[in-house]
Structure 1
Amino acid sequence: MKITRLEAIPVSVPLKAGLTTRTAHGDHVTSDYAIVRVHTDSGLVGLGEATVSPIWSGETNRSAVVAVEQILGPAILGMDPTRVHSCRFAMDRALKANPFTKSAVEMALWDLAGKAAGVPVHQLLGGKLRDSIRTKMMIGAFDPPQAVSLAERFLGWGVTCLKVKVGLDPAGDVARVRAVREAAGPDIPITVDANCGWDVPAARYALERLKAFDLLVAEQPLNPVLDDATRDLRSLGLAIMADESVWTAADAMRVCKANAADVISLYPGKNGGLLASIEVAHVAAAAGIPCHMGSNLELGIASAAMLHLAAAVPNIRSDRFPADILGPNYHEADLLTTPLRLEPEAAIVPDSPGLGAELDEGQLDRFRVDR
């Protein structure tokens, strides 16, 4: 089997009314992503999704289209898509950085490899350890009444873990988490995510007060370069999760050596593909640090890839740190013919060949923005 063409389609999918979100990075109202198709001479087509965001990695859906069709496509044209390592090295030689775009192409390669072999991607990754992945739902950095309304809505669905965005005004952050804890009661695990929004004094102020709310973990309180200061925050007694601090295996090694995290968040888009996420997980495992499956509010294809990864990698401990495989729940469409089984407590891992995700051409036509 040989690659004959790469295709990238920019899309813009709004979040559902009442489920738009707010973080220290800003408001997230519409997802401007790109869908990737890798065509082959066998007739099989692999699917990928670039959940790009300029505030995250400098990528946009338009830059992804150009990178896929003008740089990455020519780099792997004629190659065997089942030789994922070789294709990955060719892409890295052709284009620096651009992890979300490369991840979309690599997803499509895994999809093709699974379809060609007649097995799900998790089987190619060594076989699944888990049939389902425990998940949580996210509450944006809204005022306490709106945060409580969302918490009650999610708990009414049967959700068993909540994530609250913080990292803006420390006093307001504490008030928001207090309100959610009171609404959720003592038995629902709650995490917070500052998205690098606090400086050191603000982080110390907030975390000292947030300890009272029995948090499972506090995610990315400081700027990624502040490993020493983040290590010092661990002395407050809250588990610290690194997210924006860890893009690569080398980043994971740095954070582990600095003792700057209790948990590391990974996911294919941020890391640049499933293979790169596995490398991060292995580095963390060697340091005795568990991993968590993060998110950039993916649609259906990328969420499927995350499920296969979380199912197959031992050190992605979604049982202890519920995963952020939640993007389709927030969007008006997932672009799939058959939605993933994202149930309130856990997401069910697909068992169909490849990623187990089929593109809905009608939805694609509705949300594409290149016509």
Structure 2
Amino acid sequence: MKITEIHVYQVDLPLAEGRYTWSDGRHVDVFDSTVVELVTDGELRGYGEVCPLGPFYLPAYGAGARAGIGELAHHIIGLDPTNLGQINGVMDTALLGHPYVKSAIDMACWDLLGKSAGKPVCDLLGGRQGESVELYRAISQRPADEMAQNVALYRDQGYRRFQLKVGGDAAADIARIRAASEVLVAGETLVADANTGWLVADAIRVVNAVADLDVYIEQPCISYEHSLTVRRQTRLPFILDENIDGLHALLAAYQDLAMDAINLKISKVGGLTKARLIRDLCVSLQIPMTIEDSWGGDIITSAIAHLAHSTPERFRFSSTDFNSYVTVRNAIGAPQRDNGHMKASSEPGLGVTPDFDNLGEAVAIYRE
């Protein structure tokens, strides 16, 4: 099997609740998603997706993903997409950095590997673990009382894990965390995710003010060193996200006792191949993970489900179903939320078929 063409699609994914807001007032109303179709010399086609959380969250943006795919296209056309080591090696040589660009291509290769083997990607990533994957719900940054009301709203949809978007004014964030904590019931988990938004002094104010609560603190500051400073001044359980962008970062954080769990985003590390490597190391080191991506639609939700469902349950802190946040479907067959859980498809590959009615015409086609 070899890749003969690469088709690239762009699709807008409007947010169901209108606006998603996180630290420093950053917000997105419509997500810019890129879908990749790998055409082979046989009957099989593979699909991947990358969808940055706007251009001001990580060093990634929608138009950049499409430009980068164009840069890589002629390096991988003619290669065997099921030879994941070769594909990733060629991409890393041809384009230094830019892991998010490579993620959709790698994801499509896994889709083809599963289809060619007649197995779901979940089986190839280690085998299905447990009946389903528990999901968290992100609570967009709003006044404290509204965020607490949204915890109750999403509880009615089956969620038991809630990620509050904080990282703004310290006093307001203390109020947000306390208000949400007051409406929790037994068995629920609360995460205060600052998404790098606090300065060290503000982060220390917050963790000291909520020290009596049962809450996780996630990625308080933009730099690893500043987050580590906060970590060393609180007994609350600690999650690192944006700073964990590869194996070296994970190993350094493990050595420094910098966290109790990590957030593993597929596109942040370069695709399923590298995410699996980090996942397996976390299992060996006994580090729980939230397994997800920066954002996405049905194809990314499916990839998340396969990676999460093949992870031992003990180390799955949570995952998310991005396709429930948006109003446009970009594929058919993706996992759907069921009482706060989802399951990876049992169909070969990722188990999804693109919805070309919503994708429209390809914005770029690359051939031999």
Regarding TM over 0.5, the answer is yes
Query: Cα 1:5–1:357, aligned 2, differ >3 Å: closer, same or farther?
Result: same
After TM superposition, give the deviation of residue 269 of structure 1 in Å.
Answer: 1.0
Mapping 1:93-242, distance limit 5 Å:
93-215=93-215, 217-226=216-225, 230=228, 233-242=231-240
Report the Cα distance in structure 1 between the residues aligned to 2:208 and 2:148, rounded to whole angstroms.
22
Report the Cα distance in structure 1 between the residues aligned to 2:194 and 2:15, rounded to whole angstroms.
21
Work out whether 1:263 is the aligned partner of 2:264: no
After TM superposition, give the deviation of residue 51 of structure 1 in Å.
Answer: 1.2
Q: Could you tell me which residue of structure 2 aligns to residue 322 of structure 1?
A: 318
Q: Aligned partner of 2:308: which letter?
A: A
After TM superposition, give the deviation of residue 145 of structure 1 in Å.
Answer: 2.8
Work out whether 1:296 is the aligned partner of 2:294: yes
* 2:338 maps to which of 340, 343, 346: 343
**Whose RCO is larger (CA < 8 A, sep 6+)?**
2
Cα pair 2:231 2:259 within 8 Å, conserved: no
Cα pair 2:287 2:315 within 8 Å, conserved: no
TM-score (norm 2): 0.92
Cα pair 2:217 2:238 within 8 Å, conserved: yes
Instruction: Name the stretch that deviates more: 352-361 or 306-315.
Output: 306-315
SS at 1:264 equivalent: strand
After TM superposition, give the deviation of residue 50 of structure 1 in Å.
Answer: 1.0
Work out whether 1:9 is the aligned partner of 2:4: no
SS at 1:241 equivalent: strand
Q: Aligned partner of 2:117: which letter?
A: A
SS at 2:34 equivalent: strand
Q: Could you tell me which residue of structure 2 aligns to residue 357 of structure 1?
A: 352
After TM superposition, give the deviation of residue 221 of structure 1 in Å.
Answer: 1.0
Runs of 4+ deviating beyond 4 Å: none
SS at 2:8 equivalent: strand
After TM superposition, give the deviation of residue 231 of structure 1 in Å.
Answer: 5.2
Q: CA RMSD in A?
A: 2.1
Query: Cα 1:39–1:11, aligned 2, differ >3 Å: closer, same or farther?
Result: same
Mapping 1:23-38, distance limit 5 Å:
23-24=22-23, 26-38=26-38
After TM superposition, give the deviation of residue 68 of structure 1 in Å.
Answer: 1.3
Report the Cα distance in structure 1 between the residues aligned to 2:230 and 2:15, rounded to whole angstroms.
37
List per-residue Cα deviations over 1:108-157 (Å, max 9, x = no partner).
00001111111101111232223311111110111023213322221122
Cα pair 1:264 1:289 within 8 Å, conserved: yes
After TM superposition, give the deviation of residue 274 of structure 1 in Å.
Answer: 1.1
SS at 1:34 equivalent: strand
SS at 2:224 equivalent: coil
Q: Aligned partner of 2:194: which letter?
A: A
Q: Could you tell me which residue of structure 2 aligns to residue 305 of structure 1?
A: 303
Q: Aligned partner of 2:260: which letter?
A: D
List per-residue Cα deviations over 1:208-247 (Å, max 9, x = no partner).
12233311x21101223316x5255244211110101111
Q: Aligned partner of 1:242: which letter?
A: L
Q: Taking every aligned residue pair, what percent have the same amino acid on both sides?
A: 28
After TM superposition, give the deviation of residue 187 of structure 1 in Å.
Answer: 4.1
Cα pair 1:192 1:219 within 8 Å, conserved: yes
SS at 2:315 equivalent: coil
Give the unaligned 5+ runs of structure 1: none
Q: Could you tell me which residue of structure 2 aligns to residue 254 of structure 1?
A: 252
Q: Could you tell me which residue of structure 1 aligns to residue 84 of structure 2?
A: 84
After TM superposition, give the deviation of residue 46 of structure 1 in Å.
Answer: 0.4
Q: Aligned partner of 2:238: which letter?
A: I
Query: Cα 1:339–1:3, aligned 2, differ >3 Å: closer, same or farther?
Result: closer
Would you say how many aligned residue pairs link Structure 1 and Structure 2?
362
List per-residue Cα deviations over 1:30-83 (Å, max 9, x = no partner).
1012111111010211000011242234332222222213x2111111111111
Q: Could you tell me which residue of structure 2 aligns to residue 333 of structure 1?
A: 328
Give the unaligned 5+ runs of structure 2: none
Work out whether 1:20 is the aligned partner of 2:19: yes
